[in-house]
Each structure stands twice: as C-alpha cells, then as structure tokens.
Amino acid sequence: MSLNTQLIRSLRAPARPAWEEPASRIGLTAKGGFLALCCLGVLGPLWIVIVTSLSPKPVIDRVGGLVVIPEGITFINYTELLSGGQVSRAIMISVGVTLFGTLFSMAVSVGAAYGLSRPGSLGHRFFLLTMMATMFFGAGLIPTYLLVQSLGLTDTYLSLVLPSAVSVFNILVLRAFFMGISPELTESARIDGAGDVRILLTIIMPLSRAVLAVISLFYAVGYWSAWFNASIYLSDQEMLPLQNVLIQLVQKNTSAPTGLQQAVHTGQLSALGLQMAVMVLALIPVAVASPFVQRHFKKGMLTGAVKG
C-alpha cells in the first residue's frame, strides 16, 4: 500500500455503528466550523505575535503596530536578542533553573512515589497522610516568605526551586502508576537478589517512561512559567529569569531590553518587534515539548484523578 492511500484511509471516518443515525450535513458543518473557530482562537493570536516578531521595522511602522500578513521576514530581532545582553542572560537562567529544578523534583518525587508504593511498609500510612494533608491547606504567603528569608535563600536560585519543588499531585500520579505495575515482575528480580534501588532503576522506571515524561513536562512547565517567587525573592535585576524580564518589557512598558535601547532609539530596531520576539522565545519550549507527550496526558491525568 502506498503512502498516499494510507493517508487517505486514515483521514476517512471510521464506520459508524449500525444503530447510530447517519450524520447530517448541517450538523457536521456546524461541528467542524465550531472546532475550527476554537483552534483559530488559540492559533490566531500566536500567529500575530510570531509574524510581528519576524517583521522588519519598516513593515511594523507602516501597519501601525502588530503585523498579520507576513512581509519581508527577518530574524534580526532574534539575532540581536540572542547575541548577549539582558534577554540572553535571562534565557540562560530560565533554562538552568528549569533543568536543575525538574531533575531535582523528579528525583525526589520518583523516590517518594516508589517508597510509598508498597502498602504495609513501615510508616506508609503516616507518610502518605503527611503528604496528602498538604493538599488541603496552604501555609500562607507571609510565613513562607519569612521562612525563605531567614533560611538565607533570598537572592539565590534555590529560592526558585526548593519552596515549589514538590507537587503532591504529581507524586500521587506516579505512585498510582508504579502500583499498577504487575508485582510478578519485581518479584522475580527480588528473588534474583536485586534491591529496591535496582528494581526502581531497571524495572519500574523503564516501564513507566510515558508517565515519567508527562510528569517531567508538568514540572518543567511549572519552573519555566514561574515568575512570582523570582519577583519576591530576587532583588538583583541581573538574576531575573525570562518571564520576569518579559513582565518588565511588556507589562511595565519599558521600551526595549537593556543594551538594545540605543538601536531602538536610532530606529534600527522596533521595540514592538523585540517584545514579540521575547514572547516567542518564552513560548517556544512549551509549545515544542507539549505535543510530544500529548498522547500520554490522558493516562497520566486519569490515574491521578481517579485513584487517590
């Protein structure tokens, strides 16, 4: 079968069950139209942002702001932003915090999820309750702030990682998945003399790749998107991650990133184009990563939502 017929087959609707009424033309059009509208509502604004970030200054000036129809595509905004300066540094910081934070969160979460996956082990109930109780109350912003401050974590990147490192929900999802793995598999390894660490690393984790990918994505997106902790714990402007720089540029209406103000002033670069480029840089990693793990979402969310 050629690739073409394969494609056509996959596009053709599967057969309806005999008891179901045939689809009406109006119904199909309405459904398709509405779905298309929803997708347009998501992609439309992103399109405008991306196109504007790729437009040269004359085009932006001529249309009077945001560009909808691409014309004279240029990457100058990106090359300028990425060749050192405020935004490059912020990107490095965000990438570093996200990588380190995700690794740290995954390490402790996987450990706890496996450690709690065997009911009847010593302290199992106590640890589980200690964990789950935190889902019902928050300690409050002020005491947390005072604690982080007196631990000496302010103005360090640890303040962006440690207070938000653990998500109990994520651990419960992992745990539910680990518990669903057939015990026969781990048994045989145990008889062969493997310890818990070895079982986790060589049997459980390879079998849970899908859920590990989803939870890593959740953690990574959390670190990448976070800005509030940085806004209260970091006083040094040079340490701010990308989201905070974006706030400064777009929300507080600073015209251009430090270092590029001269170029904007003399009319070489467009402030708007630069802002949109920073936005695109902030959304690229999540937009690229999430479709890859999308097919596993349902499974991950379901185990977490249904089993407590």
Considering only residues 117 to 156 of the shown chain, the ones binding other proteins according to CB under 8 A are 118-123, 127, 130-131, 134, 136-147, 149-150
* Contact flags string 259-298 toward other proteins, x per CB under 8 A: -------------x---x--x--xx--xx-xxx--x--xx
Among 108, 201, 237, 268, binds other proteins (CB under 8 A): 108
User: Quick check: 236 binds other proteins (CB under 8 A)?
Assistant: no
User: Quick check: 81 binds other proteins (CB under 8 A)?
Assistant: no
User: Quick check: 33 binds other proteins (CB under 8 A)?
Assistant: no
Compare residues 2 and 12 and give the one whose CB is closer to other proteins: 12
Compare residues 40 and 83 and give the one whose CB is closer to other proteins: 40
Dist. CA 63–CA 182, nearest whole Å: 62
| Shortest CB 243 distance to other proteins, Å | 5
Span 177-196, contacts to other proteins by CB under 8 A: 183-184, 187, 190-191, 195-196
User: Quick check: 48 binds other proteins (CB under 8 A)?
Assistant: yes
Among 58, 72, 180, 308, binds other proteins (CB under 8 A): 308
Compare residues 118 and 209 and give the one whose CB is closer to other proteins: 118
In 3D space, the residue among 287, 162, 289 whose CA is nearest the CA of residue 226 turns out to be: 162
